[in-house]
């Protein structure tokens, strides 16, 4: 697979709380992003911990869901005793595990995974926010002030009280598919049509998406991992390893 990665610190921040990993192991190619929650203590540490826990779990032979559960527990262990829930470290997690032509997806929060197939772009992940839940229930209008005010309040995330219940999905990949795993610093700055246009453009790399988000006025940390399946069904090369954090 052809994989590109880009990450940029937001204009309103001194240090990025985005983290990412793209690494090949026995289970396949792991593409994952984590966005440490603002307003908590140690959001960046939470993002680092959840990805480390995920990688360790998969390396130990765990299935993706079990590895996410272990990573969630590792984030919860970061919180000192007695720290109020709103201040405890938390992070989003979107992880795609590609093994040949099968992708397993695990997701918590408002980062996201997108699939481009034959010129059509589809969001694979749900948005785990209070705003999205109210929109789905018909209680809030899309694009309303109420939705914007609740956009940052997550309903599911790594480090939350109790068990984290990720969205789990299996997708059969096809030749020529493109996968985007990104934090909301990319997807909130770009409209869906703009994102779809960039993904469909030949030669688009992760850096193009991150730059486009900044040019569109995005102020948050922005991280994108973009992977392309080869056109030849016999050509599936997963020999890829990138590991990074923040704006490196």
Let me know: does 93 contact 106? Beta carbons within 8 Å: yes
For 60-101, give the secondary structure using H, E and C.
Answer: CCCCHHHHHHHHHHHHHCCCCCCCCHHHCCCECEEEEEEECC
CATH number at residue 23: 3.60.40.10
Asked whether residue 246 carries a pLDDT value surpassing 80, the answer given is no
Asked whether residue 141 carries a pLDDT value surpassing 80, the answer given is no
Q: What is the mean pLDDT of residues 30-52?
A: 93
Q: Please, which pLDDT band fits residue 139 given cuts at 50, 70 and 90?
A: confident
* 206-215 helix and 192-200 helix, angle to the nearest 10 degrees: 150
* Least confident stretch, 25-29, 133-137, 191-195, 210-214: 133-137
Asked whether residue 242 carries a pLDDT value surpassing 60, the answer given is no
Asked whether residue 140 carries a pLDDT value surpassing 80, the answer given is no
Looking at residue 139, what DSSP letter applies? Answer: S
Q: What is the mean pLDDT of residues 55-67?
A: 97
Asked whether residue 27 carries a pLDDT value surpassing 90, the answer given is yes
Cα torsion for 126, 230, 50, 72, to the nearest 10°?
50
pLDDT at res. 147: 67
Counting the structural domains of the chain, the total is: 1
pLDDT at res. 248: 29
pLDDT at res. 96: 98
Q: Which of 1-15, 38-52, 122-136, 169-183 has the highest mean pLDDT?
A: 169-183
Looking at residue 12, what DSSP letter applies? Answer: T
Q: Please, which pLDDT band fits residue 148 given cuts at 50, 70 and 90?
A: low
Neighbours of 173 (CB within 10 A): 21
* Least confident stretch, 8-12, 37-41, 97-101, 216-220: 37-41
* Least confident stretch, 7-16, 131-140, 161-170: 131-140
Cα dist from 213 to 23, 84, 95, 103, 189, whole Å: 25, 34, 21, 26, 5
Interacting residues of 80 by C-beta distance below 8 A, sequence separation 6+: none
Q: What is the mean pLDDT of the chain?
A: 89
pLDDT at res. 243: 38
- CA–CA distance, 214 with 248 (Å, rounded to integer): 16
More confident residue, 25 or 246: 25
- CA–CA distance, 90 with 33 (Å, rounded to integer): 13
> What is the span of the domain harbouring residue 174?
2-245
pLDDT at res. 151: 67
Q: What is the pTM of this model?
A: 0.89
Strand partners, 6: 224
- CA 178 from centre of chain: 15
Burial, 13: exposed, middle or buried (Cβ in 10 Å; 0-12, 13-18, 19+)? middle
pLDDT at res. 236: 43
């Amino acid at each position: 697979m052809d994989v590109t990665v880009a990450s940029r610190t937001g204009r309103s921040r001194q240090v990025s709380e985005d983290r990412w990993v793209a690494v090949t192991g026995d289970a396949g190619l792991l593409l994952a992003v984590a966005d440490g929650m603002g307003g908590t203590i140690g959001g960046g540490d939470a993002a680092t911990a959840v990805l480390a826990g995920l990688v360790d779990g998969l390396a130990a032979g765990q299935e993706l869901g079990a590895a996410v559960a272990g990573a969630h527990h590792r984030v919860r262990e970061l919180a000192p005793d007695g720290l109020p829930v709103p201040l405890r470290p938390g992070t989003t997690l979107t992880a795609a595990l590609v093994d040949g032509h099968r992708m397993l997806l695990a997701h918590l929060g408002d980062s996201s995974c997108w699939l481009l197939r034959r010129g059509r772009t589809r969001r694979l992940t749900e948005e785990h926010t209070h705003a999205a839940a109210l929109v789905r229930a018909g209680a809030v209008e899309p694009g309303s002030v109420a939705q914007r005010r609740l956009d940052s309040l997550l309903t599911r995330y790594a480090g939350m009280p109790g068990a984290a219940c990720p969205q789990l999905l299996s997708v059969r990949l096809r030749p020529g598919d493109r996968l985007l795993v990104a934090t909301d610093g990319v997807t909130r700055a770009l409209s869906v049509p703009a994102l779809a246009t960039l993904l469909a453009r030949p030669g688009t790399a992760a850096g193009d998406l991150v730059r486009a988000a900044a040019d569109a006025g995005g102020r948050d940390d922005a991280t994108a991992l973009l992977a392309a399946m080869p056109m030849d069904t016999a050509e599936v090369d997963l020999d890829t390893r990138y590991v990074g954090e923040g704006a490196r």
